[in-house]
Chain A
Amino acid sequence: MESQVDVAVIGAGPAGVAAAIKAKEGGAENVTIIERDTQPGGLLHQCIHDGFGLTYFKENMTGPEYARRFIEKAMDLKINFQLGTMVLDLTAGLNVTISNKFGIQTLHARAVVLAMGCRERTRHQIMLSGTRPAGIFTAGTAQRYVNVEGYIPGKRIVILGSGDVGMIMARRLTLEGAKVEAVVEILPYIGGLIRNGVQCIHDFNIPIFLGHTITEIWGLKRVQGVTIAKVDSDGKPVLGTEKTIECDTLLISAGLIPENELSLKAGIEINPITGGPSVNEMMETAIPGIFAGGNVVHVNDLVDNVTLEGEIAGASAANAALANVISANRKINLKAGKNIRYVVPQTISAQKETTLSIRVGEPAEKVMLRIGGILSKPLRVVKPSEMLRIKLSLDQLQGLQEGIKDLEVSCAKRS
């Protein structure tokens, strides 16, 4: 079965729904969101904790509440939702092949927005030594079981990684009656927000081992314990510092990876640093007509920013669908300089106001953020876990020299 759509959005998480709304408001008539789960909202449904919407709505909301605002708006706008539907293929020609219980369909789209989000780094990807028993989960999968499916993965838990997801699960499992025996973190500092360090770890007196890693997993059928050890400055375990912790469950919170299987199918190259497609300030990928926003482009910290990226992608997709050609005849590459891990978007036209998402490489204090010669901003503290969002006004961008191809973003210590 074939059909035409103006804008096809892949993923009904915060990026996708925001994109669809802006696409519809931007004039695209037939906007369809394709979502593999049976309800829209993406991972927000399992994020029952609060802290969402602080910047976008100036309210403190839980994940489901945040999702619902946008879902209701999308329904009001009569956006089509294809739930319980998986995208099997995406071509550079903007053909989207989907599968659900009603059959196989190919949507011929005028524009596509990729909003597939992220998957989690697995135990094997971080090469943890030991056996492969039942009881090893990535933190997000455990969160799905606890907050959506209605099951608790175990009663004595060890969590590897002190990012926000790991810490939030430490609290959640404690509240549900399990004992979190330890949170193990390889860096000498907490990976996520301090607020979570207080309210998730400190509040519950959960033992946290900074500067440690797991050197072995034990148990043949089900996890029986882990061995942890201190690490040196290279992150290597220090002999003699091993300690065994009995547990029946191991949660791995070792980072997120943008989910770009479909992007690869369409022939889009994936940037090795961000893990997602390189985009310009319209959130357009290297393939004309295919846009991307949210965690599929780079791992964000705040859902509010995911929404903003999705909105840009959606609005741009609508323009493309309506064939409103916006010629970006200038293409300036943003280069990551000192202490910058990456910048999104990777290229800008410098012809309109643009917000850059910048991730630093290492934590630092008293630094100067520089963007080419057009912006210098002193910052007190920067951390890799807290992305910077810097708006460049049209005035500032027009201050760029003619013919400039590259713009370096750097974050060095102030002298």
Chain B
Amino acid sequence: MCPMGCLITVTIDDNGDILRFSGNLCKEGEKYAKAECTFAGRVLTTTILTQNSLRKLLPVKTNQPIPKEQLMDAMVFISKLKVKPPVKVGQIIVKNLMDMQVDLVATDELPM
């Protein structure tokens, strides 16, 4: 389903090549559907536990979408981390998260 609400059906042959689109209203839909089939990416927004801070959680996000199949694994990975102040907005908390060429950055600050 595309962001406009059209339900797009994609027919794929055995090689994974796209044969046909149906149900989309515009060219954007075709592009979107193609992208979703080859790489359905999602920006992950979540929180990290903190240490030595009055705030119990620091909100973070991936600075690029990651494959949606990796979302739960990423959550488990992040659940084991703890972050200490000071942290500024945009600061990289984890570089190259799980080798996906994507960084995990702070979306709020953690003052001392």
Contacts and interface: CB of A to CB of B under 8 A. Distances in A.
A and B associate: yes
Interface of A: 45, 48-50, 60-65, 68, 146-150, 175-177, 194-195, 197-199, 202-203, 381
Contacts of B61: 48, 50, 62
Interface of B: 1-5, 42-47, 49, 56-57, 59, 61, 68, 71-72, 75, 79, 89, 107-109
A160 to B, nearest CB: 23
A392 B89 CA distance: 38
Contacts of A198: 1, 3
Given A147-B59, A203-B68, 10 more contacts: A60-B43, A62-B107, A63-B59, A64-B107, A64-B108, A65-B89, A65-B107, A176-B75, A194-B1, A198-B1
Contacts of A203: 42, 68, 71
A61 B61 CA distance: 10
Question: Which of B3, B56, B108 is the most central at the interface, judged by chain A CB atoms within 10 Å of its CB?
Answer: B108
14 contacts: A45-B108, A48-B61, A48-B107, A50-B43, A50-B61, A62-B59, A65-B108, A149-B56, A150-B49, A150-B57, A177-B75, A194-B1, A199-B42, A203-B68
Contacts of B1: 194, 197-198, 202
A146 B46 CA distance: 10
Contacts of A62: 45, 59, 61, 107
B38 to A, nearest CB: 16
B93 to A, nearest CB: 14
Contacts of B109: 68
Contact of B3 (A64, A65, A68, A195): A195
A194 B5 contact: yes
A179 to B, nearest CB: 12
B3 A48 contact: no
A198 B75 CA distance: 19
B17 to A, nearest CB: 24
B46 A175 contact: yes
B47 A194 contact: no
Contact of A49 (B45, B49, B68, B79): B45
Contacts of A65: 89, 107-108
A48 B57 CA distance: 11
Contacts of A146: 47
